[in-house]
Amino acid sequence: MRILCGQSTMVVLSTGSGKSLCYQLPAYMYAYRSRSLCLVISPLVSLMQDQVVMDLPACLKGACIHNNMTPDQRSKVIESAISGDLHFLLLSPEMLVGGSIFGDNGKFPPISFVCIDEVHCLSEWSHHFRPSYLMVCKTLRERFGVSVMLGLTATANKSTIRSVCQNFNIPEHSVVMNAPVPTNLMITVSRDEDKDEMLIQLLKGRNFSGCSSIIVYCTRREETERVATIIRTPRRSKPTQTRKKKSTKALGLSLAWSAECYHAGMTPAHRKRVQKQFMAGKLRVIVATVAFGMGLDKRDIRGVIHYNFPRTIESYVQEIGRAGRDGGISYCHLFLDPTGSDLRELKRHIHARSLDRITIKKFVLRVFQQCSCLESDGADDVIKVLRRCFGHERALSIEELVNKLDVKEEGLSTLLCYLELHDCRYLRSDQPTYNTCVIRFYSSVNILLDVVKKCPVLGMLLTKRPDLLSSAMTSRIIEFDVIQLADDVGVPSYVIKRQLRDLQFINDHNGCRRSGIIVEFSNLCYRYRCRGDFSDDEIDGIVDFLFERVDGQERTEMYLLYKFYDMLKSASYKTCYSCGDEDGVDEERIDSLRLKLQHHMENSSEHVISREKLLETSSELATPQELSSLRSDIRNFINTYMHDHMLTGRCIARIFHGIDSPCFPTQVWSKVRRYWRCSLHIDFNIIRVTATQELINWRR
């Protein structure tokens, strides 16, 4: 009703609760009343395809557009939307922001409302935070004038809900949600040392042997293949604990179940075939990475097993929510590694996104390039500076910035989002663009005069840059930065690009033909608009703001990871034999764990604790002997690689923990076995601080 009344809404419902109907019914009713179209933004192609190919009512028409489609396929969908044959259209965030399909907005029916699926990606407090989603909200409001939005998700705690509500401009009390952890799920945890053998015993046990469909979640692709092979392979049962067992027929059976793996490294056809078999009930066990199951509409999944430790509490709640959608009793088991190796693996992912203050400062200085829009009036040592800068169009080469700062593109995009979301609105970002223009002349150089007449700004550039004019006369090539030219002449870059593209054609009484000029654009860049007159103190303030956000995010994720681990450990059994197969289900322990999970989902998670407190909770503190050995390894590493690489304490800590980065890729550095992943038993920040000290000593 809120959507039909024109009010933006967020819906948090567990998997299988009918979230799709929340946009399908309003989309149909809006289109029935007036010719309109509902846009649905979805993060994954597989989710879009599932929403379209599932059994929709005959009266409801939907389609999707994504990058994997051919131009002809896209054209057919666009024609259907323009003709009014569709009630809803599914798009990826990139497709919407790019705006290529909306080249002529006048032909499209009006947008009734927009539904954003997996809306938790909007929240910077979410583990799944995606900067592209922030651009979606801005694009919908500013380019399409959309005022009504519907956000759908199955996983969101209080912090995420608050963040999404701020983006939607809606009060928190308008959020529709149900209990995040269904009561029909029997949740158990065990700390088995031999997980492979115990997984087989669990599947053969009373609880899981009768399950018609089971999902086994693994963290890594190669793990899914290995575990699927173990389940498929007939094996003789090992001697088990010497306790009296009930004569259950299922316990005497050898494990002869069909099992297949599912991960992003498989071909689309292979993944589709495996999923189809699982949906049809021909495949009993599927061993998959966490991507499997998003949007999966199978109501009789009776078992979910986590072979590895989940990334977050939210992920875990969402994944176990795929079992028992029909309300029937279902079983969820998690293997908690007693050695803590799974915990260390997840900590590596958190540290991979962290940044040093010096790196952030280099980034800020590159973003906010100084301009000359200053007017000074002063005497002696007192200078009065009047702010005259109203903003400049800027561009930063993504590839160059990634390699210079050793930061992945996703991390850079997140920093830009933080700057745009700040109350001061430090910058206004736009869609990335190709900034370098190369003009080639394949006919007489005399055509240059016609070029200057047709594109006056290019004539201004050649006048200011004699070197470019010389290059045009000799090698018949002109190469320059479009956005720098746009800023110099005060003309928007998109206008200049349109003029440059038009140079390739001649329109006269003979019609349209090639002009003998080729115009090419390259070098993908971030494009944004910002002021260029920030003082040194203001720059330091921006650096402080970004560092606090990044560092605080790292500490928050680390705190929540420890909290989740302790929560599961307190509810765990020593082995899966004690989880209810023989002695009955311990409902009190299950209820306690369910309440803890529910309490987390219903409360804020914006806990930022000090690094000292984190070190106290860490089990990876170094002994004096280990610290001495670590210092020796770091010195040897510095002496070996310092002359060929730009080393920092953080990059050394990443290598010692086996963390990939743009300048130190896994494919190369994993071969350096002496140092790669050599200190996983020592806390990352202890290695970082120690390596920084050794680098300072080395430079002295």
User: Are 468 and 480 in contact, with CB atoms under 8 Å apart?
Assistant: yes
Owner of token pair 């599914």? 90
pLDDT of 547: 95
User: What is the pLDDT at residue 512?
Assistant: 82
pLDDT of 691 higher than 60: yes
Q: What is the mean pLDDT of residues 679-683?
A: 90
Confidence of residue 100 (pLDDT cuts 50, 70, 90): low
Q: Is the pLDDT of residue 379 over 50?
A: no
- Range 185-237+250-345+556-601: architecture per CATH: 3-Layer(aba) Sandwich (3.40)
Q: What average pLDDT does range 388-395 have in this prediction?
A: 88
Q: pLDDT at residue 582 above 60?
A: no
pLDDT of 27 over the 50 cut: yes
pLDDT at 110 over 60: yes
Average pLDDT in the 477-493 region? 92
Distance CA 61, CA 619 (A): 55
pLDDT at res. 619: 58
C-alpha span between 539 and 14 (Å, rounded): 44
Helix residue ranges per DSSP H, 506-570: 536-570
Q: pLDDT tens digit string along 222-259? A: 999 999 999 988 665 554 444 444 443 443 444 457 89
170 or 9, higher pLDDT: 9
Confidence label for 430 from pLDDT (cuts 50, 70 and 90): confident
Q: What's residue 640's pLDDT? A: 95
Q: What is the mean pLDDT of the chain?
A: 85
pLDDT at 270 over 50: yes
pLDDT at 445 over 70: no
Distance of CA 437 to the CA centre of its chain: 31
Which among 411, 485, 476 is positioned nearest to 447, based on CA atoms?
476
Pick the CATH number of 9-177 from 3.30.1380.20, 2.130.10.10, 3.40.50.10860, 3.40.50.300: 3.40.50.300
What pLDDT score does 113 carry?
A: 93
At residue 374 the predicted structure's pLDDT band, cuts being 50, 70 and 90, is low
506 pLDDT band, cuts 50/70/90, is confident
Lowest mean pLDDT among 201-210, 279-288, 353-362, 469-478: 469-478
pLDDT at 605 over 70: no
Number of neighbouring beta carbons within 10 Å of residue 458: 25
Q: What percent of the chain has pLDDT over 70?
A: 86
CA pair distance 299, 303, nearest whole angstrom: 11
Percent with pLDDT over 90 in the chain: 41
Q: Which residue has the higher pLDDT, 263 or 606?
A: 263
How confident is the model at residue 357, as a pLDDT?
Answer: 95
CA 149/CA 284 separation, integer angstroms: 39
Asked if residues 325 and 16 have their Cβ atoms less than 8 Å apart, the reply is yes
**Which of 287-296, 508-517, 568-577, 597-606 is the most confident on average?**
568-577
Tell me phi and psi for residue 111, to 5 degrees. Answer: -85, 120
Question: What does the pLDDT read at residue 444?
Answer: 67
pLDDT number for residue 437: 95
DSSP 664: B
What gap in Å lies between CA 324 and CA 560, rounded to an integer?
A: 27
Distance of CA 324 to the CA centre of its chain: 28
- For position 251, what pLDDT does the model report? 39
pLDDT digit string (tens) for 144-166?
Answer: 888 899 999 887 888 888 888 88
- By residue count, the chain amounts to 700
Model confidence at 286: pLDDT above 90: yes
Q: What tens digit of pLDDT does each residue of 614-641 get?
A: 665 665 677 899 999 999 999 999 999 9
Query: What tens digit of pLDDT does each residue of 328-354 get?
Result: 999 999 999 988 888 888 999 899 989
Nearest to 208 by CA among 298, 309, 332, 310: 332
φ/ψ bin of 99: left (φ > 0), alpha (ψ from -120 to 50), beta (otherwise): left
Helix axes 624-641, 649-657, angle to 10 degrees: 110
Q: Is 360 exposed, middle or buried (0-12, 13-18, 19+ CB in 10 A)?
A: buried
DSSP state of 661: B
Specify the higher pLDDT residue, 318 or 384.
318
pLDDT for the residue numbered 614: 62
- Asked if 159 and 604 count as a contact pair (C-beta separation under 8 A), the reply is yes
Q: How far apart are CA 434 and CA 677, in angstroms?
A: 38
Binned at pLDDT 50, 70 and 90, residue 139 comes out as confident
pLDDT number for residue 235 = 60
> Is residue 592 scored above 50 in pLDDT?
yes
Residue 115 near residue 39, CB atoms below 8 Å: yes
Query: In this predicted structure, what is the pLDDT of residue 620?
Result: 63
> CA of 545: how far to CAs of 250, 345, 357, 370, 689, in Å?
60, 29, 10, 20, 22
Q: Which residues contact 48 (CB under 8 A, 6 or more apart)?
A: 40, 42, 64, 66, 90, 91, 92
- Residue 493 is predicted with a pLDDT of 93
Residues paired with 217 in a beta bridge: 288, 306
List, for residues 543-563, the tens digit of each pLDDT value. Answer: 999 999 999 888 888 888 989
Phi, psi (deg, nearest 5) at residue 255: -80, 110
What letter does residue 507 receive in the DSSP assignment?
E
pLDDT in tens, 7-20: 899 998 876 677 88
